[in-house]
Every structure is written in structure tokens, then in C-alpha cells.
Amino acid sequence: MKVLVVGGGGREHAIAWRFNKDENVSKVYAAPGNPGMKNVECIDITDFEELANFAKENDIGLTMVGPEVPLCEGIVDVFKAKGLKIFGPDKAAAQLEGSKSFCKDFMVKYDIPTAESATFTNEADALAYIEEKGAPIVVKADGLAAGKGVIVAETKEQALEGVKSCFEGSFGDAGYKVVIEEFLDGEEASIFAFLDGKSSATLASSQDHKRAYDGDLGPNTGGMGSYSPAPVVTDEVMEMVQKEVLDNVTRGLQEEGLYYRGIIFVGLMIKNGVPKVLEFNVRFGDPETQTVLMRLDSSLSEAMLATVEGRLDEVDFKWSEDPACCVVLASGGYPGKYAKGHTITGFDEAEENGAVVFHAGTSLVDGNIVNTGGRVLGVTARGKDIKEAVDKAYEAVSKIKWQDVMYRKDIAYRAIERLNK
Ligand code: AMP
Ligand code: GLY
């Protein structure tokens, strides 16, 4: 079967890499893909109609969509209308990520454990609510804001500022509606599950590091590294998530008549072994995917196809016991301003010990790979325990050089601390 991956980041690179190891896959296309992808035909089409026609003409048996934006814009609706198999929710169901208030209403209606919240379209009412509740408190722009629309406010002033900046248009249309939410503390983890309309199947757990600097300090980013499994996700937590979250999501989608044949990313805050949902994403996480897929030992294409065809119950996922670690190399200054266009070296040396270098923000210029994005590479390795996976990833990282490269030195520190207990 030929497959098409929509997107060009580290997550999509990991998916294309996994497809290339899959005996059911004869050819991998990516739109637009990236210069690090090997044995992948990259195509430069963004228009959904055109892409669907390309998929039809080239006999593509399965399309998988990486990022949330095309899902929220309705790529699944266009492919489905042409009778093409595509992995993901349609536009209406993608609102679970595209609108925080839609997601909160859904969670409340279907008894999914989450933080208490209220939604406002009027600035004065939002400010009054914060005055009443006090801090810490969390302010969220309703729409997609590339991970930047969430303000975790430690003081009332920060929360008030956050609301004002939403209504002043800092997040564009995404911010004229805000969700204000109870602050939850605990440890975060992500659980991915495939949904086929009738049931769900969880994948291996993982955890990312959202803050820019060591010790989980500094500004929030798209994710500076990840590891899998996440020891905070015990069997009991997994069971609770299945029963209280995933079963209720499936029921809710059915009752609302929403079409969803894809992956759901459950962002959790876990305290004393009790999980609450922070958010749903309607796609794989980045960089969590890099570590989760490095541990998948069964066919990804078959699992996705079965999901689209509503026969998820036939899928037998096989996971390696070996943990995996991904260290993100970013451009110096990220998530703020950074310089682009520096030549990167050391790719082959980095992969000598079995690590894989996934590209996220690179371009090919005059035969050289240069940095063009904030998050540039995701260096990922597997080991017999988390310590070995981390050491292998950092050994590979040490071979890669470019001016002003920046990365965290402590990815997976919590998992290693647990190992030492
Ligand atoms: P979200 O996009 O909703 O997951 O929010 C982004 C990040 O903000 C999360 O990964 C958490 O680190 C943090 N966050 C979101 N909601 C809360 C909450 N209710 N309490 C504490 N932290 C939160
Ligand atoms: N790493 C978090 C995300 O993909 O949203």
C-alpha cells in the first residue's frame, strides 16, 4: 500500500520513518515533508482538493494527517467526500482541539474528569470572575494559538493581564473567547489512543518537557524533549483513563454524531495517582511521537487502516520494553527570536550508535542542511533502560553542531530519579 503523510515536522518525520519500516507499505509520500526524510517522495501541494486528487491519481491507500491545522480546516471532509481513506477526525470533531470551550462543554456533558472552568466572550465578566476566584488560575484563548494561548497565572494580576491581552487581539480571533480554569498541580503525561467510532486502543504512554530550560524552567515551548514510557502513568492510571476518559469520549462522539477515525491525544495532570484531563489534541504529539513510535514493533499502517475502517478490535499493538528518549535541538533564542540559516553538521556520526535524527525545522540550501525553525531536530534513541536511552540520545546530540544550538541537558530526569529510588 502507498501512504501519504501530511506535514513536515519532527512528528511527521517519525511517522514516515516508521512507515518505511512497515512491510505493508510500498511507498511513502509526504506533503510537504522535510529534507531529513529518507526514501520519501516529498510533494509540494497544500490545497486539500489538489492533494486529494493527487492521492486518487497515485493510488494512495491511506493518508495520515500530522498537524491540527489541516484537521481543523476540514482536510478529512474533503478526502472522505472523494472516497479516500484518511486517518483523523472531520472538521466538526476536530473542534475538540480547535475550541477549548467546545472541548470543556463536551467533557462536562460526558462526565470526563477535568478542571472546573467557565467560558467568557465578555472581557468585564472574565475579569470579575478572576477577581472572585483569585490565583493561581489558568486563562486559555479559545481557538488554536500554536500552543501559545494558555496563560498559567501565578498571580491575579497576571491572569487579569492575560484576559486583557486575549481581548486586545494577541491571539487573533482565537482570543475573543476565553476559558478560565482552575489551576491543577501534579505531574503531566500524555496518553495517545486510536479511536474508530466504536472503541479505543491506547498506545504507549509518554511525557514531554514543555519548558525551555533545564529544571522545567523558563517559557513554554512546543516541547523540548520527550520520553516513553512515562512511569507516572501506572496501570491504575491507564485503567482510569480508559474507563473515565476514553470510553466516555467514544460515547460522546457517538451521541453527538461526530466522525472521528484517528488518534486522540489526552493531556493529563496526575496528582496522587488521579488523572484529570487538561486538553485533548486530535493528532499525535510532537515530540512525544518520536519516542512512542520508536517503541512500536508492529505495523503502524495496518493499525491506522483498521482504525479508519472501524476494525480497531483486530489490531494487536506490540511495544518494545525498551524505553526511548528524544532530545530536541533548537535554535538559540527559541521560543523567542532566533537566527536562521546556520549550516548543521554531524548527522551521519550522530546516527552511528543507532540514534535517529528527526528533522523539524531544517531546509536544504546549496547542498547544506541549515536551521530554519525554532525546534530544529529531535535526536531519538532507545535503550535497555531509560538511562541508556538518555545516554545514547545525548551521545548522538554531542556529534551535531551548528552556531547557537540550544537544548536541554535534563530530558527524562524525573524518570531517571524514579529509577534511582
Ligand atoms: P493546554 O494546551 O490546555 O494543554 O495547556 C498547555 C499547558 O498549560 C499544559 O501542558 C499545562 O502545562 C498547562 N496547563 C493547562 N491547563 C492547566 C491547568 N488547569 N492547571 C495547570 N496547568 C495547566
Ligand atoms: N508536545 C505537545 C504537543 O504536541 O502538543
Look at the block and give the residue holding cell 552511528. Answer: 352
Higher local confidence (pLDDT), 332 or 414: 332
Model confidence over 193-221: pLDDT tens digits?
Answer: 999 999 999 999 999 999 999 999 998 88
How confident is the model at residue 166, as a pLDDT?
87
Q: What percent of the chain has pLDDT over 70?
A: 99
| 413-420 vs 386-397: helix crossing angle, rounded to 10 | 140
Alpha carbons 16 and 62: distance in angstroms, whole number: 12
Do residue 217 and residue 305 come from a single domain?
Answer: yes
- Atom 3 of ligand 2: nearest residue by CA position: 285
CATH number of the domain where residue 26 is located: 3.40.50.20
> Is residue 273 a contact partner of residue 160, using CB atoms and an 8 Å limit?
no
Task: Write the pLDDT tens digit of every residue in 228-245.
Answer: 999 889 999 999 999 999
Helix (H, G, I), strand (E, B) or coil at 408: coil
Residues 211 and 126 in one domain: no
CB under 8 Å to 66, separation ≥6 — which residues? Answer: 5, 6, 7, 9, 11, 12, 15, 283, 284, 286
The residue range of the domain holding 302 is 187-314
Q: Flag whether 37 is in a domain.
A: yes
pLDDT at 170: 77
Query: According to the model, what pLDDT value does residue 147 have?
Result: 65
Provide the pLDDT confidence category of residue 174 given band limits of 50, 70 and 90.
low
Q: Using the atom order of ligand 1, give the atom closest to the CA of residue 267.
A: 4
For residue 338, give the 3-state DSSP assignment. coil
Q: Whose CA is nearest to atom 9 of ligand 1?
A: 278
pLDDT computed for residue 172 by the predictor: 73
For the cut 70, the answer to whether the pLDDT of residue 23 exceeds it is yes
Q: Is the CA virtual torsion 211, 292, 193, 13 positive or negative?
A: positive
- For ligand 2, whether the C-beta of 275 sits within 6 Å is no
What's the rounded mean pLDDT across residues 375-379?
98
Domain shared by 309 and 386, yes or no: no
348: domain CATH number?
Answer: 3.90.600.10
Question: What separation in Å is there between the alpha carbon of 376 and the centre of ligand 1?
Answer: 24
**Proportion of the chain above pLDDT 90, given as a percent:** 85
Q: How many domains, in total, are found in the chain?
A: 4
Question: How crowded is residue 75: how many other Cβ atoms within 10 Å of its Cβ?
Answer: 23
Instruction: Label residue 218 left, alpha or beta by phi (over 0 means left) and psi (-120 to 50 means alpha).
Output: left
Tell me the mean pLDDT in the region 336-359: 96
Dist. CA 121–CA 220, nearest whole Å = 25
Do the domain assignments include residue 343?
yes
> What digits encode the pLDDT tens for the residues 275-312?
999 999 999 999 999 999 999 999 999 999 999 999 99
pLDDT of 388 higher than 70: yes
Please give the pLDDT value at position 143.
Answer: 84
Query: Ligand 2 in contact with 279 (CB < 6 A)?
Result: no
Residues 200 and 272 in one domain: yes
Question: Measured from the CB, is residue 115 less than 6 Å from ligand 1?
Answer: yes
- Do 277 and 331 sit in the same domain of this protein? no
Query: What's the pLDDT score for residue 149?
Result: 83
Q: What is the mean pLDDT of the chain?
A: 94
Structure confidence at residue 402 as a pLDDT band (50, 70, 90): very high
Looking at the predicted structure, is the pLDDT value of residue 175 above 70?
Answer: no
* Within a domain: 331: yes
Judgement on whether residues 15 and 130 belong to the same structural domain of the protein: no
348 and 307: one domain?
no
Confidence of residue 177 (pLDDT cuts 50, 70, 90): confident
Q: 143 versus 15: which is more confidently predicted?
A: 15
Mean pLDDT value of segment 241-252: 97
The pairs formed by 296-299 with CB atoms below 8 angstroms and a separation of 24 or more are 296/18, 296/203, 296/204, 296/320, 299/22, 299/23, 299/24
Relative to the alpha carbon of 150, which ligand is closest? 1
How far is ligand 2, taken at its centre, from the CA of residue 305, in Å? 24
- The grid coordinates listed for 216 are 522545567
Integer angstrom CA distances of residue 387 from 188, 324, 325, 397, 411: 20, 9, 9, 15, 10
Q: Does residue 115 belong to any structural domain of this protein?
A: no
pLDDT of residue 61: 98
Q: Answer whether residue 258 is part of any domain.
A: yes
Q: What average pLDDT score do residues 58-62 get?
A: 98
What is this structure's pTM?
0.94
HSE, CB side, 13 Å, CA atoms: give it for residue 210.
12
